[in-house]
Structure 1
């Protein structure tokens, strides 16, 4: 249904804001006036995944921790879930990765930026009594590395900023974004490329060779009068096409066959980004080759 990415400085109050938002969303879903789909609200965070704050002391340890967060988010993304990612999400590339994963699932997206000054974050971090405080040097390093969200980039938009001075989150605006916002299609670059059947190359070569032989046989029988003809390619396959009123040489047909096969071999071996499944059956190949011949044979 939707992905809400929470971002902000460490110890800026992100978890409190995420809990406030979760409470508001669940209240709206329980409201008797709500007539939408049956949804649940889930939160994925470092705390839920038991990721220790110490991983942010070392870049090599941080990378698998961030991967664990991303994997957990992917598992919970779905049309029946409003998912809140409660973490720093301080790297814009990581926010873009979450955005692309959400688009793959056809989810609405938005970002909640929990804003607080570095001084406030340091004060709140020092006062933590839950054992989840950042080491002072780690906190300073993360504050310097933080990449602030921007409403000007698509993966952070729509962006809702919540200052530390506000008592609550903008629940009405976020609710509208996750229930009425635009669902963007998946990025073409991230879509899985449909694979051709294992026998597609053999079918392509066999069908085009059979058609060339059938055209030459039909031309011999009709003395090159041309016009609409029906080729018998197998016991079950018949193909209609229109031939020009002249003698077609075998070299002409062989040249067209080579060009046609070369183009379609590339589509088979490298894949295709055509929407929907690509049909590599004998009938489909015969139809395409017939159209190709009609369009490329000179009258």
Structure 2
């Protein structure tokens, strides 16, 4: 069942809003006569109940490990009979994209709830929490996290539907969230095509997977070499439905090879035709470039 990603500046009131959501959803579940809904359980995940200290965000390695911990917990709890409220900053759009893909693979709806507290108010509440000894982020860490925050954009599919909760609103749009994710407006979610493919049976499939993706990476590298200094660009791949839409910053060969290896790992147990490999790899690259 649904995944709700809470996103906002540090000290913006994310946990307070998450508790409002949890309480309202619990009431709706308890009052429901629908057997499917009455079996639902709510999992509220945040740094505190995952055993993560605020200081993990002070270093790249510990922050990466913290995101991995949250990701693992979401994947563990995201079942047919659960509602997962991921109460964290979720400030990196690439991470939100990964969780969007995870929810889609589980055929469950997802949304992003953006806690729209102005940064000045967040700074004020953070300083008060530090002074009171009740929490808060160290000042330099707070400012760094604010600087790095990538605000959700409802125009992108991984941040949609997007619900923004202004600071002075008493509650989030609770009824709308319930209807969209669980109630009458909830829609069936189709997983990505790569997650529903038959097991590989063709003897030369892995060879084709390796060669096709390698050829596309080589095509990207050759195009960048022929167009030095150009920002972005589109590359047409013969036999693929869509063009590759390059990001503004040039892509190094190690980065491209890393993406190729990730794609191969995801699809090595599937059976695809050569043209289908092209389509999926091009779509994977475009989604990754947009989320970066």
Q: Same fold (TM over 0.5)?
A: yes
**2:155 corresponding residue in structure 1:** 152
Work out whether residues 108 and 178 of structure 1, in 8 Å CA contact, stay in contact via their aligned partners in 2.
yes
* Residue-by-residue CA offset, 1:146-179 (whole Å, 9 max, x unaligned): 1111111111111111011111111011001111
1:167 equivalent in alignment to 2:205: no
TM superposition shift of 1:34: 4.9
Work out whether residues 20 and 168 of structure 1, in 8 Å CA contact, stay in contact via their aligned partners in 2.
yes
| TM-score between both structures, scaled by the size of structure 2 | 0.65
**1:187 corresponding residue in structure 2:** 192
* Secondary structure in 2 matching 1:127: helix
* Residue-by-residue CA offset, 1:222-248 (whole Å, 9 max, x unaligned): xxxxxxxxxxxxxxxxxxxxxxxxxxx
Q: In the TM superposition, what are the counterparts of 1:1-299 in structure 2 within 5 Å?
A: 1-32=1-32, 34=34, 36-37=36-37, 38-128=39-129, 129=132, 131-179=134-182, 180-189=185-194, 194-196=199-201, 271-273=270-272
| TM-score between both structures, scaled by the size of structure 1 | 0.64
Name structure 2 gaps, 5 residues minimum. Answer: 204-267, 274-292
**Structure 1 residues 71 and 270 mapped into 2: Cα distance closer, same or farther (>3 Å)?**
closer
Q: For 2:154 and 2:16, locate their aligned partners in 1 and report how far apart those are by CA, in whole Å.
A: 23
Q: CA RMSD in A?
A: 2.0
Name structure 1 gaps, 5 residues minimum. Answer: 202-268, 275-299
Work out whether residues 197 and 270 of structure 2, in 8 Å CA contact, stay in contact via their aligned partners in 1.
no
Work out whether residues 13 and 114 of structure 1, in 8 Å CA contact, stay in contact via their aligned partners in 2.
yes
Structure 1 range deviating more: 122-131 or 151-160:
122-131
* Secondary structure in 1 matching 2:169: coil
TM superposition shift of 1:190: 5.2
TM superposition shift of 1:136: 0.4
**Structure 1 residues 49 and 271 mapped into 2: Cα distance closer, same or farther (>3 Å)?**
closer
**Structure 1 residues 126 and 187 mapped into 2: Cα distance closer, same or farther (>3 Å)?**
same
Work out whether residues 197 and 271 of structure 2, in 8 Å CA contact, stay in contact via their aligned partners in 1.
no
Q: Figure out how many residues of one structure are paired with residues of the other and give that number.
A: 204
TM superposition shift of 1:193: 6.2
* Secondary structure in 2 matching 1:168: coil
**Structure 1 residues 135 and 60 mapped into 2: Cα distance closer, same or farther (>3 Å)?**
same
TM superposition shift of 1:132: 2.8
TM superposition shift of 1:61: 1.2
